[in-house]
Amino acid sequence: MSPISRPPSVPGHPFIAYQADELQVEGVPLSRLAQDHGTPLFVYSKAAMLDALGAYQRGFAGRHAQICYAMKANSSLGVLQVFAQAGCGFDIVSGGELERVVAAGGDAAKVIFSGVGKTRAEMAQALNAGIGCFNVESEAELDVLSTVALGMGLTAPVSIRVNPNVDPKTHPYISTGLKGNKFGVAHEDALRIYQYAASLKGLHVVGIDCHIGSQITTTEPYLDAMDKVLELVTSIEAAGIPIEHIDFGGGLGIDYNHDTPPQADALWQQLLAKIDAKGFADKKLMIEPGRSLVGNAGVCVTEVLYLKPGEQKNFCIIDAAMNDLPRPAMYQAFHAIVPLSITAKPQAIYDVVGPVCESGDWIGRDRALNVAAGDFMAVLSAGAYCMSMASNYNTRGRAAEVLVAGDTARVIRQRETAQDQMRGEQLA
């Protein structure tokens, strides 16, 4: 046991900070929210989301651009509402996500539909809603989409996702732009597939898109991918198929653990220079950021249930688990974990684990913490790919969510009950 040390300042979280040794989101102390609403509890800062969005908006100032929030990062209605009110479109990957956009007041015309496995029913739903673009990922999908659209007397606006074969140097599960993964069409096949798309009566080619991966923390993969995409735009247009928009996907990383991703506006300054140099300055630009808009706008507040000293390890058992925070179990991901109140307690090294009956249920390993049972802690960088990936494993209800704006805190999702979970089930 060593003397107490001050927890690190909250890395990359501009609106989450200690005030008089109490962790606050904007003007609201987290311990008050934990007491009022129970734990585990996700708390998001509206100002942090708008601040992250602002970096992209500055990057596109004076351009014809559309920012489509990739809502799979966090699809809670109260979060979608923030982006809808800020004028964003949405990148969706299912018909369910489209229903959420509509419920949150989003504009269907600003929706783009990504994903390798769209069903006929989802295509029809999206055509009925009048979405802006289908980002198609295979020739087989082009055929089916054309048939569905013709059957409805419509034409579907399409973009084809091209796979630029660049290595984003991120975790293999979130790397999507390399040969050998299921996404997009190969660069060398793209022109032929565009010609095929242009020949189908139910389709109208409007754009080109790519998305090379997630949690990208360097500029180079983006620059390389942009070169590849612009090369294709030139050859597709030379073949007589006009490309109205270039959609460059998402993937920009955030600071989880002393990561230093490029700032969105600085990155886009470099990318726009490439676009302009190729003579495409007048093209509409679209992007699909997810994690970088919400990841560091949120924390998960949890209570320490037990400290359990062990022969090889000490365990800090908390009331949040892999069903709430799946990223460590899925990707060995790192989330910083800090106490809500800085107090004089002895420090020890713990594995921070949840109550779920799996050894994979860990949230942090070998963490130096000054905590006692009953204390609250915050798992940081929990705004993206946490609640939207949460499950009911172990019949654990999904956590409640609160959106903070200034001094006000609003519940945007009630804690899920066992009754909620059993809805739709019946005894045989």
What residues act catalytically?
357
CB 95 within 8 A of CB 105: no
Shortest distance in whole angstroms from residue 145 CB to ligand PLP: 16
Nearer to ligand PLP (CB atom), residue 91 or residue 303: 91
Q: How far apart are CA 116 and CA 101, in angstroms?
A: 20
Shortest distance in whole angstroms from residue 60 CB to ligand PLP: 16
Of the chain, the end-to-end C-alpha distance in Å amounts to 55
Residue 66: name the closest of 232, 359, 288, 277 by CA.
288
CB 294 within 8 A of CB 74: yes
Tokens of 403: 């959106």
Q: Does the bond joining 40 to the residue before it have cis omega, within 30 degrees of 0?
A: yes
Shortest distance in whole angstroms from residue 336 CB to ligand PLP: 19
HSE at residue 220, side-chain half, CA atoms within 13 A, is: 6
φ and ψ of 40, to 5 deg: -65, 145
- Letter for the amino acid at 145? L
Q: Supply the Cα-derived Rg of the chain in whole angstroms.
A: 23
Which residue ranges make up the site for ligand PLP (CB under 6 A)?
70, 72-73, 91, 114, 211, 214, 249-252, 288-292
β-pair partners for 205: 158
Task: Give the largest Cα separation in the chain, rounded.
Answer: 72
Shortest distance in whole angstroms from residue 399 CB to ligand PLP: 20
Instruction: Note the helical H segments in 172-219.
Output: 190-199
Q: How far apart are CA 78 and CA 82, in angstroms?
A: 7
Shortest distance in whole angstroms from residue 345 CB to ligand PLP: 36
Shortest distance in whole angstroms from residue 66 CB to ligand PLP: 13
Nearer to ligand PLP (CB atom), residue 12 or residue 249: 249
Shortest distance in whole angstroms from residue 257 CB to ligand PLP: 17
Shortest distance in whole angstroms from residue 384 CB to ligand PLP: 6
Tokens of 284: 């509409």
Residue 160: name the closest of 51, 98, 245, 64 by CA.
245
Instruction: Please give the C-alpha separations between residue 43 and each of 34, 294, 333, in angstroms, as whole numbers.
Output: 10, 11, 20
Classify residue 12 as left (phi > 0), alpha (psi -120 to 50) or beta: left
Nearer to ligand PLP (CB atom), residue 291 or residue 413: 291
Nearer to ligand PLP (CB atom), residue 40 or residue 290: 290
Nearer to ligand PLP (CB atom), residue 76 or residue 214: 214
User: DSSP string spanning 259-282?
Assistant: --PPPHHHHHHHHHHHHHHTT-TT
- Letter for the amino acid at 408? T
Nearer to ligand PLP (CB atom), residue 290 or residue 364: 290
Select the residue whose beta carbon is closest to ligand PLP and give its number: 290
Tokens of 261: 């991703």
Residue 183: name the closest of 165, 197, 171, 200 by CA.
165
Shortest distance in whole angstroms from residue 135 CB to ligand PLP: 7
Q: How far apart are CA 22 and CA 338, in angstroms?
A: 11
Nearer to ligand PLP (CB atom), residue 290 or residue 328: 290
Nearer to ligand PLP (CB atom), residue 291 or residue 396: 291
CB 231 within 8 A of CB 165: no
Nearer to ligand PLP (CB atom), residue 290 or residue 298: 290
